Structure 1
Amino acid sequence: MISLLIYRVLLLLLSPLVVILLLIRSKNNKAYRQRLSERFGFFPNQAAKQGGIVVHAASVGEVIALKSFIEKLLLTYPQLPITVTSFTPTGSAQINKLFGERVQHGYLPLDLWPCTVLFLRRLKPKTIIFMETELWPNLIAQCSKQKIKLLLINGRLSKKSLHSYAKISPLITPCLNRFDKILCQSQENLEHFLQLGSDSNRCINSGNLKFDISINNQVMAKKAELSELLFQTTESHNANGKNDNKPNRTLWLVASTHEGDEAIALNAFKKLLIQYPDLLLVLVPRHPERFDQVAKLCLTQGFTLARRSENTQLNNQQVWLLDSLGELMAAFDLSNIVTMGGSFSEIGGHNPLEPALFAKPIIVGHNMSNFNEIMQQLREEDGIIELSINEPANQLVEQVSNLLQQPTQQQLLGEKALKVVLANQGASERSLNEVKKLLSATTNSIESNQ
């Protein structure tokens, strides 16, 4: 069984391999070989302000989910430095895009004792906030020893993760019980944390942060930018009486795709084009290193292709590849029908709440295990279409075709999905209240010791 000491030794021994893996990954994405010093605890800003709040958002999805919460931190604690860390280059880019100079930013270091020591020495935070299942046993142990408050928000622990962590419970259970509070995104997740040995006094069900998404000016600006590239536009008037340019082609968006998803979508699209020759398929790969691979797949299968990175206006191309970052939310708004990638394999799907926010009809594959509670609520409201595991391409043809023929059904399905989003918002505010309690306790402790 793995204890913290064995974990530290193993990571030290494996650290050269970790660096090699980062360099290998950088073959397709050069950002992985940049800023390597940050991976070893050297926070990029030598003049970084100390004594604030650190929030860790591993990658793009987590950054987007945390946006509302981080905005609340910035408003509530203007006197404290807010540091937002990530572990992936795409997450880093999203942080810079959303928050710019309003936050301090760097990579969270590898969970090696010397690296985490340097990181904590540079920032000296009052509180570190982790999200979902981001557990860094060494860093968390050091924080606990230094009396740095620890908060896990939007806690998520699937059945699969529960079984995996149970095998190393001597490492994970003490790690969980070093958190001052664990805010779980659902009752089911809370029960899983308790089964893993979390102290029941530390765990509460605070709801899912991913419901607390909103449409902001950046999304609307991106929408206008993308609209300019679409083949022709028709001018309409929105509820405020302002002009609102909309593409005159029907858009089927397949979002956050992984290996295999594009092949299924293209197979279905080939059949749909027979009946709907003006249909535009928009593909958005989850990982930037796959952009070229997906482009090649489209061309090999005989489709005409436009790439967002080329920044040229679409004419009669059949597929639009969004090989860009930070534009998916705008693309949701422009689409007519959305299919979520990662749901046709063991990936477990991606967040259906983002297209739901724009009241879009959503189709998913057979595996949305990453979003069990969200899916249950969408099912109860009849706000989503789920496919079975058999012949997904043929099922996509049927479901997309049905929606294209029934605009009223498209609208109704989207409205039901939006209803689920609006009914479950508020987790960001509840998480903020827990931060206030922790910081208040820290202040009182300092004052009592003076």
Structure 2
Amino acid sequence: MFALLFYRILLLSLLPIVLIALLLRSKNNKQYRQRISERLGFISNSIKPDGIVVHAASVGEVLALKPFINELLTNYPALAITVTTFTPTGSAQVKKLFGNSVQHCYLPLDIFPCTWLFLQRVKPQLVIFMETELWPNLIAQCHHKKIKLLLINGRLSKKSLHSYSKLKALITPCLQRFDTILTQSQQNLAHFIQLGARSEQCLNSGNVKFDISINDELAQKQTELAQYISNHRKTWIVASTHQGDEKLALLAFTKILAHFPQLLLVLVPRHPERFQSVAEQCQKQGFSTIKRSDKKVINDENIWLLDSLGELMATFALGDIITMGGSFSGSIGGHNPLEPALFKKPIIVGNDMSNFAEVMQQMQHENGIVQLKTPATTTSIDEQADELANSVIKLLSAPEQQHILGQHAYNVVLANQGATQTTLQQVQSLLNQ
């Protein structure tokens, strides 16, 4: 109790600094200074109360939860489904995917007055968090108000377990306030219990990120994007890149062009505020670059920069080889390889995929992915670029191996689907209590 009180006082005292930080971040993305009132808990009166709140922090979480949210809309048509995010890109994705079929607002800052105002307005029956999204103050208030709490797709890596253990006095009571914790794997379940969650409240449900499919909307987007790329060109997609990933990709690309001079590199930065700087970096390196926003057909250009939101998954269908960013620096932990696997694409990732440890184990066991051996912490970027380039060249030279890798990755996706249905059963159970 003392830890929570200290947490509340600390965050309240830091409120001016948090607001200043949001304003500073808005220099690169003006949307961070918009709808500040929502971040303070002042939610629009148009939001209907007494429903279900699902928190999806940003774009990746929104996309991963799409099948689950669609099932909620189908199964609970009389309840208001409110999807909250914390980033503007996540907000844009909610509006794009669901339109007016769900309610949407930012989840407020985890500061007592802000969260109190939020709960007074929304009055949810059930609040659903995802993976490692733990908001101690909001969770404590929900528990006090007897609002049901569900953590889905729970993920707690060894690294996160070590970090959270330092805050055990705050985190353990937070976990114990959940009615149910659903985890991605047995290993994650063990980590949650080690951190203080009760074994009877935890269940290994599997990973909802496996529950993806190619629907009509996705197929239409694929057709739309395909018109921009010449059919005869081999295409290498480097997706969800962070600072430093582009430099590595461009170094590798230079080496690959010596063997495949017509190769098209599709770069997809993770964060919109970096679109322009990445474009300038490509051009500075001497690569002819065309942006998705230009809406022009790609002819002889070297690079297509996907400076758009919500189109990455459909773009995977157009690639010959996919490389997932965020897996090279040792600080990000990688990004979801399951989406390109859905399209039976050969996938190359860096040495650090700690965010997807169980997924990687299964893909490697089935020989469905290529992981580089060179860690950023002990090797130079030139060595990393050499290994990445050699891996791409090897696959481009072996179409049959591309096919085998892609099929094996796809098999892993199919074999692990079903977590969404388990999660829905828990939702029903909690609402009926």
TM-score bin, normalised by smaller chain: over 0.9
Give 2:248's match in structure 1, choosing from 244, 264, 286: 264
Tell me what 1:82 maps to: 81
Corresponding residue for residue 396 of structure 1:
388
CA distance in 1, matches of 2:225, 2:232: 13
AA aligned opposite 1:437: S
SS of match in other structure, 1:275: coil
Opposite residue 337 of structure 1, the aligned amino acid is I
Q: Secondary structure at the match of 1:359?
A: coil
Offset of 1:2 from its aligned partner? Answer: 6.8
Cα deviation, residue 166, structure 1 = 1.0
Counterparts of 2:92 and 2:406, CA distance in 1: 30
- What is aligned with 2:359? 374
Query: Which residue in the other structure is 2:180 paired with?
Result: 181
Shift of 1:47: 2.3
Look up the SS of the partner of 1:78 in the other structure. coil
Matched residue type, 2:32: Y
CA contact (8 A) 1:207 1:427 kept: yes
Distance 1:296 1:24 in 2: 22
Counting only pairs closer than 5 Å after superposition, residues 51-130 of structure 1 correspond to structure 2 as 51-130=50-129
Q: Distance in 1 between matches of 2:218 and 2:31?
A: 25
Alignment of 1:209-288 (within 5 A): 209-231=208-230, 247-288=231-272
Q: Distance in 1 between matches of 2:282 and 2:411?
A: 36
Equivalences for residues 163-178 of structure 1 within 5 A: 163-178=162-177
Alignment of 1:350-389 (within 5 A): 350-389=335-374
| Paired residue type of 2:304 | W
- Whether contact under 8 Å (1:2, 1:168) holds in the other structure is no
Instruction: Name the amino acid aligned to 2:38.
Output: E
Which of the numbers 404, 419, 422 marks the counterpart of 1:412?
404
Q: Which string of whole-angstrom CA distances, capped at 9 and with x for unpartnered residues, describes residues 47-97 of structure 1?
A: 221110000000011111111111111111001110000000111111111
Residue number in structure 2 paired with 1:445: none
Deviation, structure 1 residue 248: 2.0
Measured in 2, the distance between the counterparts of 1:271 and 1:173 equals: 50
- TM-score normalised to structure 1 length: 0.93
Structure 2 counterpart of 1:335, one-letter code? G
Once the 2 structures are TM-superposed, how far is the Cα of residue 392 of structure 1 from its aligned partner?
1.6
Residues 186 and 205, structure 1, Cα contact 8 Å, conserved in 2: yes
- The CA deviation string for residues 119-141 of structure 1, in whole angstroms up to 9 with x for no partner, is 11111110000000100011101
Q: Distance in 1 between matches of 2:30 and 2:214?
A: 31
The CA RMSD over aligned residues, in Å, is 1.0
8 Å Cα contact 1:252-1:335 kept in structure 2: yes
Q: Normalising by structure 2, what TM-score?
A: 0.97
In the alignment, the residues of structure 2 paired with residue 250 and residue 30 of structure 1 have an alpha-carbon distance, to the nearest angstrom, of: 37
Amino acid at match of 2:36: L
1:437 aligns with 2:429: yes
Does the CA contact (< 8 Å) of 1:154 and 1:207 recur in 2? Answer: yes
Q: Give the distance between the partners of 1:15 and 1:322, measured in 2 at CA.
A: 36
Q: Distance in 1 between matches of 2:352 and 2:222?
A: 30
Moved more, 285-294 or 209-218: 209-218
Cα deviation digits, residues 168-198 of structure 1 (max 9, x gap): 1111111100000000110111000011111
Counterpart residue type for residue 212 of structure 1:
D
CA distance in 2, matches of 1:67, 1:338: 23
The alignment status of 1:325 with 2:315, answered yes or no, reads: no
Structure 2: where are the runs of 5+ without partners? none
Q: Secondary structure at the match of 2:67?
A: helix
Length, aligned pairs only:
425
1:347 maps to what in 2? 332
- Provide the C-alpha distance between the structure 2 equivalents of 1:288 and 1:186, rounded to a whole number of angstroms: 32
Contact 1:303 1:318 in 2 (8 A): yes
Query: How many percent of aligned residue pairs carry the same amino acid?
Result: 64
Determine the C-alpha separation between the residues in 1 that align with 2:425 and 2:346.
34
1:232-282 Cα distance to aligned partner (Å, 9 max, x none): xxxxxxxxxxxxxxx221110000001111111111111111221110000
For the residue of structure 1 that corresponds to 2:199, the secondary structure is coil
How many angstroms does 1:218 deviate by?
Answer: 2.2
The residue type paired with residue 407 of structure 2 is E
The CA deviation at 1:217 is 2.1
| 2:420 alignment partner in structure 1 | 428
**Is there any run of 5+ residues in structure 1 with no aligned partner, and where?**
232-246, 442-450
